Amino acid sequence: MKNGRLITFEGPEGAGKTTILKMVAGKLREMGYPVVETREPGGIPIAEKIREIILNPEHKEMDAKTEALLYAAARRQHLVEKIMPALDGGAVVLCDRFIDASLAYQGYARGIGIEAVLMINRFAVEQTMPDLTLYFDVEPETGLERIRKNFREEVNRLDMENLSFHRLVREGYLLLADTYPDRIRKIDAHRTVEAVYSDALRTVCAYLERHWKKTGTSESL
C-alpha cells in the first residue's frame, strides 16, 4: 500500500500549471515534505521519447486513437518506473498532467469518448489514481495568447490546434471537475501568478494536513 500522495496539476494550454507546480514544490520542500516533481507525457526516458512522437508538430496525420494509446503507454511506463516507487517511499508526487488530460483532450475534444479513453487508462494505471487534482481553468483565448507572448520553447502539436479544439478541451475539463468534485479542485487561472499560486498552495496544504503524515526524505527525481 502506498505511503505517499499523488497530486496532479491539470489545465488547458497556457493555464500556467507548470509554473505553479514548481512554485508549490519549492514551498512544500521548505515545509519539510519529501517532494517528487514529474510530468506527462514524460518523466522518464522511455516516456520522454514517446512525448517527442506525440507532440512533434510534423505528425499532423496522427490518428486520435493512436494518440490516446501512446499517451496511455507513456503513462504506464512513467507510473511503474517513477511514480509508484516514489509513492511507496512516502513522497508527495506533483505531476504535471495525468489521466484527466487524456480524458479531456482525447476523450472529449477528439471525440473518442471519455468512457473509451478511461477504459484504456484503467488498464494502464490499474488502481493508481490522483489523490488530489488541481484544475487551472482559463479561457483558451487567454491561454494561447500567453503562449504567444512568452515565446515558449516547446510549441507542440497541440498548441497548433484551432481555437474550437481548445474550447472543447476546456469543456472536457469542466465536465470532469463536475463529475469528480471530491478529487478535482478548480482554480481560476485568469488571475496573477501570485494569486493563483497562493490559491494552489493553500489547497494542497489543506489536503496534506488532513491526509498525509510527514515521512521519508525530500527528493526531486
Going by the annotation, the residues of the binding site for ATP are 11-18
Locate 49 and state its grid cell. Answer: 521519447
- Residue pair 37/210 in contact by the 8 Å Cβ criterion: no
> What are the CA-CA distances from residue 120 to residues 62, 70, 104, 133, 220 (Å)?
18, 11, 14, 20, 29
Can you point out the beta strands (E) in the chain? 5-10, 35-39, 92-96, 132-137, 184-188
Amino acid at site 138:
V
Task: List the binding residues.
Answer: 11-18
The residue behind cell 471537475 is 177
Amino acid at site 219:
E
